[in-house]
A and B are shown apart, each in its own frame.
Chain A
Amino acid sequence: MRVSLNGKSINTLCKFAFELKGESDLVILNGYQLTKDTALKEDDTVCVIKKDVMPNRDELESMMASRHTPKVHEKVKSAKVAIAGLGGLGSHIAVALARLGVGELLLVDYDIVEPSNLNRQSYCISHLGMKKTDALKRQLVDINCFISVKTVDAYITEKNVSDLFNGYNIVCEALDNPETKAMLVSKLLSNFADVKVIAASGLAGFGSSNDIKTKINFGRLYTCGDKTSAAVVGQGLMSPRVQICAGHQANMALRLILGLGEV
């Protein structure tokens, strides 16, 4: 039968997955790491991994995607997502989408990593003083060298929205300022008939995780958050809820890539 083994299509006489194991430590079948031997079927995807060996580049990509649900990798690899703002939301959305293997990411931010970012944003002390675009790109390339990461070091205004995001049908709004959020969302939806926008509103503080939800408006605006918890004097922004909200946004991006428009 024909199966995919570490990214290559092979013809095999093997009937069970462990027969392909050789000296490897792990056998991953269709996204699941096997604990007991399992019969193979036509078109199965198998990855075998030896933990202490650096794989060659050909095999690495299939190994990295081996825990994905089958057929997800092919779809995310040909997808493009833009991320507006690389703070607590945008940096974590970008990391999640890079781990997914989204083929092209556009990262837009004007800012520089400073110490107050580190309580919630995906940056390290070694990134202090760097442009967020550069610091994040460095991380993403380290996480997944098989994706294309484009960066634009710019402040988003009414005037540059169309130029910045032209060609991206999924845009994650991950800005801080509510006026800029409203402007960006309105401009994108108004200027691009096919764009789907995944925005955030209400993620400050330490209220219940379960209050953060993804909702749909206007047919193509997804808003993640609890809608009310604003960053204000006396209410900070902290890693857990920021990451939960970023997780909502990244998962909605994945769902859209997979053709699932429901929240």
Chain B
Amino acid sequence: MIVNGKEIILQKEISLKVFLEKKGYDLARIAVEKNGIIVEKNSFETEKLCCSDKIEIVSFVGGG
């Protein structure tokens, strides 16, 4: 699986939510694209990841 341009070995199929939590992301402060399609927060749990997926994650910090 490719995550933010880097290859990551995925041992087994997991949900996007579990993957993001394991990687330490704050789920409320990110935008995620999987295989070129935006995944909204309410779909993180149902979206499954497999080794051919390409994920891009953008994090936001506060201030404006």
Contacts and interface: CB of A to CB of B under 8 A. Distances in A.
A187 B63 contact: no
A201 B40 contact: no
Contact of B38 (A190, A199, A201, A229): A190
Interface size class of B (residues with CB under 8 A): 20 to 34
B58 A218 contact: yes
Interface residues of A, number: 39
User: Chain B contact residues: over half helix, strand or loop, or mixed?
Assistant: mixed
Nearest to B61: A230
B24 interface: no
A175 B64 CA distance: 5
B62 A230 contact: yes
A202 B58 contact: no
Nearest to B63: A231
A221 B58 CA distance: 9
B8 interface: no
Interface of B: 26, 28-33, 36, 38-41, 56, 58-64
Contacts of A122: none
A178 B31 contact: no
14 contacts: A88-B64, A89-B64, A176-B63, A178-B62, A185-B58, A185-B60, A189-B33, A201-B59, A202-B61, A217-B56, A227-B61, A229-B61, A231-B61, A231-B64
Nearest to A174: B64
User: Which of A90, A179, A185, A237 has the most chain B CB atoms closer than 10 A to its own CB?
Assistant: A179
A203 B63 CA distance: 7
B58 to A, nearest CB: 5
B64 A182 contact: no
Interface string A205-221: 00000000000011101
Contacts of A103: none
Contacts of A204: 61-63
